[in-house]
Amino acid sequence: MFERFLTGTALIFFVYLLLFYTNTYIFYSILSLLFVYAFYEWLSMTDITNIRKILYLLFLAFSMLILYIYITPELLIFIFYLSIIFWIIILILLKNYKLLLNLMLRNYLSIGLFIFLTSWLCVISLNNLDNKLYFELSLSSDNLDSVTAYHFLFIIILISLSDISGYLIVKKFGRTKLIETISPNKTTEGFIASIVIPTAIFYIYFIVILSYPFFILDLVFVILCCIFCTVGDLAVSSYKRAFSVKDSGNFLPGHGGLLDRLDSYLPTVFIYKFWMFL
């Protein structure tokens, strides 16, 4: 537990530096490297050879470069909506454990490439109203602009609150298994808490503290973000279950692999972008 606490503290410090004390080039370069490493963890759970693993990683990196250079607003929007459809399908398949595991086993490469490439694309174009790559438009020696930094901070806080709320309620009150075949530790009580507690906190923060209008539609999207936090977690858990792996790696002592921390973000960034910018 102490190791977990130290790693968590170090992560908070790292994220703070990344958001407020790096230039745009460093920020997006580090994000890109993190996505490539998360894909490495995804591949490492399979039994493929190291040579094939390197080739697939190079293919992901090359695809990122090609998209960065040649992406158009129309293609970006198409990929965005395609990704939304993909995650809705995953949500539906969570109730069909055997079909989902079979899908993961047979298509681990194409699913992995799709997940990490599209999520990376959504992240680096997150704060961009005209749907051109923000990354392309803002490379400079200047610090990341405050609007972009606070959007990332909002997502991080929301997902962290959702994860922590679910974890604490499971420890104290969790009784009814949510989807035991995929994640034995997740409970219905924890799932409800992971939605209700962050939603209540953000509602109180915006309405009471900031006196800022927080509409019904905003509440709906906060709830959707929290739901898809769990969807991302369960999707990666089903993948790990398909290959009989407990953690995606040991990149973060006390927490497991990078993918174990990134999983909730993979679908949630699409919901957030749709909420804020589309």
pLDDT category of residue 3 using cuts at 50, 70 and 90: low
Q: Is 5 exposed, middle or buried (0-12, 13-18, 19+ CB in 10 A)?
A: exposed
Average pLDDT over residues 205-234: 88
| SS3 per-residue string spanning 219-238 | HHHHHHHHHHHHHHHHHHHH
Specify the pLDDT at position 143.
63
Domain range spanning residue 50? 2-277
Give the residue ranges of DSSP H helices in 125-215. Answer: 134-137, 146-173, 188-204
pLDDT category of residue 172 using cuts at 50, 70 and 90: confident
* Closest to 42 in 3D by CA, of 102, 92, 117: 117
Average pLDDT, the chain: 85
pLDDT category of residue 211 using cuts at 50, 70 and 90: confident
pLDDT category of residue 139 using cuts at 50, 70 and 90: very low
Average pLDDT over residues 74-103: 91
pLDDT category of residue 136 using cuts at 50, 70 and 90: very low
Q: Does residue 55 sit in helix, strand or coil? A: helix
The tokens describing 164, both together, are 């922590």
Percent of all residues in the chain with a pLDDT value above 70, rounded to a whole number:
89
The tokens describing 275, both together, are 């909420």
Phi, psi (deg, nearest 5) at residue 149: -60, -40
**Is 60 exceeded by the pLDDT of residue 141?**
no
Q: How many CB atoms lie within 10 A of CB 83?
A: 22
Average pLDDT over residues 178-203: 89
Long-range contacts of 183-191 (CB under 8 A, 24+ apart): 183/233, 183/234, 183/237, 186/230, 186/233, 186/234, 190/165, 190/166, 191/166, 191/230
Report the b/e string of 178-189 with b at 16+ CB within 10 A. bbeebbeebbeb
| Structural domain total, the chain | 1
**Is 50 exceeded by the pLDDT of residue 217?**
yes
